[in-house]
Structure 1
Amino acid sequence: MGVRANLITVGIVDDHEVVRQGLSAILAQQRSMRVIGEGASAPEAVSLAIKYRPDVMLLDITMPGGGLEALKTIVSKTPEVRCVILTACDDASVAMAAITAGARGFILKGVSSGNLLAAIEVVMADQSYVSPEFAARLMDAALQVKLEGAPSLGLSRREEQVLREVEKGLTNREVADRLHLSEKTVKHYMTSVMQKFGVSNRVGAIRHLQGREHDARGTGAVH
């Protein structure tokens, strides 16, 4: 079936079916928009982008396979597809990483339908959209990274912070409380760390960290 030229086509990728259903219901009420595909993982996101080339993709950052990796692949293979991150991860450094990777927008789950539609309209005008209440935090994160320079472990500043707390034996809930994050955000960071280190669990991540620091001390490198 063909799609009218004036329609904004949208792809939705989130591993929670209820989220996809809710987004689809909102967009179905818009005469100018049409959902043309859905997925639940990073591979499905990439496949959807390549097959259907939607105008806009709504992507969760914590989907199986890694939302950030899916974003990078989509931007590389289908640069005409405008990606908007829609996530519960409320840390500004994640937003900055996504925008650096090519996301056109970053909004938190729970956003009003009006703001969601506004984000789609803005990115369709080839502009960037960040939730207004999130913009100041994003600027602070950008300034912090500029002041601190590049991370030493191949991790973002926040990923290393989380890993250091986990190394102390803290649970995800305890890390979340200490760093003023949500528990889901802490889990996201640890998943990202494990992917970067090529390990499958927290113990492996800690051992990898300690092994790298041991090697650095052995070569006289300064951490």
Structure 2
Amino acid sequence: MRETIIETEAMSRFDSAVDEVVSADRGLSGFVLAYGQAGRGKSVAADRYHFMRGGAYVRVWQGWSQTAFLQRLLFEVRGKNTDMPRHTGNRCKEMIVQLLQDERKPLFIDEADRLKIDRIEDLRDIHEMTGAPVVLIGEEGIFGLLSERRRIWSRVAYEVEFGPISPSEVALYAMQGAGLDIPLALSSEIAQRTEGDFRLVRNMMLLLEKSAKASGSFTVDRAMLDAALSARTWRRK
């Protein structure tokens, strides 16, 4: 199976939202909130945008202090193969502001729901001083985090929900990733059984591809799907 990224409806909305805040004047820029359950393609969309169009991308680690977070953010904003900064958190923040004032770029903060609210406040300070857009990517719990501070929530310019992968997207992913032809009725069943989780869909495609190679037919039928469905538990009850 080939590694493949398909253009989902949510991904298109994400690209449009980030394009809007990146192209807006400094005073009209803001935060973008990309949210949804795990496995819905949020990180893939953010990583793809960052790779293709630039910016600074940070994936949050559990338990990061202010200093650790801002050191990592400074490292990514610099965008060079230099050593990890060892400055204090406040000095890192000052340097980030200076760099973004010289060259404004979007900041992608993945798994932002793992941050403490004070780190979101650090991002608000940076945004206020530079106009750099901030893209927060996380699961639904991020709403509870942001609701603690109205002054942050009011700066969210766009909300992009990443919902379950659709049956047509399942079929497209199967064709592009593994050359599998899956009828819409079976694609609908796959989407339902996996609860639209991209990772589970990928795992199912691996089983179906193996079965297709064994049988010599890459058109998925009822028997092939039943065998894949019986191979494991595809969702938690």
What's the TM-score, normalizing by structure 1?
0.30
Q: Decide which structure has the larger Cα Rg and report it.
A: 2
Ranked by relative contact order (alpha carbons within 8 Å, sequence separation 6 or more), the top structure is: 2
